Amino acid sequence: MTSAFLTLDRIDIRILDILQNDGRISNIKLAEAVNLSPTAALARVQKLGSEGFILGYEAKLNPDLLNASFVVFVEILLDKTTPNILDDFSHAVVQYPEIVACHMISGGFDFLVKIRCANMEEFRRISGQVLWQLPGVKETRSYPVMEVIKESNQVNLNFKTKPKK
């Protein structure tokens, strides 16, 4: 538990939960849901934003309708893991919109990358023209997704510890 969590009360947590489920809720409806005046609710949302709890708002798009429903996870092993190679790789990977997620991993490989594209043919192109051109790549292992069972960017706000009252 971070010390920042200690600054949240139940109303703040409720506001965060509502907003991550419906970022377009009106301030009036949000205020009603948390039993505050619209002015007080707006002040809390602004404070949560300025303190970094709310990073932004975005629409969730339908990849099936946008020709981007093919997902592949790729393990990437670098030839070296020196600070400059890691930095070069990290700076390069953010340049490619096809790479929708990249995580540095501890274990048998260095990075786990998530690619979203149209189909296997497009992934083969991305593999050769993007992944293998990234700095320091020694080896890759690809895992095409057959079916998405669950996918969410939401943060679990059901903490084991109780927030301040």
Structural domains of the chain sorted by starting position, each given as residue range(s) with its CATH number in brackets: 3-50 (1.10.10.10), 70-144 (3.30.70.920)
Is pTM beyond 0.75? Reply is yes
pLDDT score, position 161? 47
pLDDT score, position 111? 97
Spatial strand order in the sheet of 137-144: 99-104, 111-117, 70-78, 137-144
Which of the residues in the chain have pLDDT under 70?
1-6, 159-165
In the three-class reduction of DSSP (H, G, I as helix; E, B as strand; rest coil), residue 140 is classed as: strand
pLDDT score, position 4? 57
Chain-centroid distance, C-alpha 53: 14
Query: What CA–CA distance (Å, rounded) separates 27 from 41?
Result: 7
- Under 8 Å between Cβ of 19 and 54: yes
Query: What CA–CA distance (Å, rounded) separates 112 from 142?
Result: 10
In which residue are the tokens 């020196």 written? 82
HSE, side-chain direction, 13 A CA sphere, residue 18: 21
- DSSP-assigned letters across all residues of 54-69: -----PPP-TTTTT--
pLDDT score, position 7? 79
pLDDT score, position 18? 96
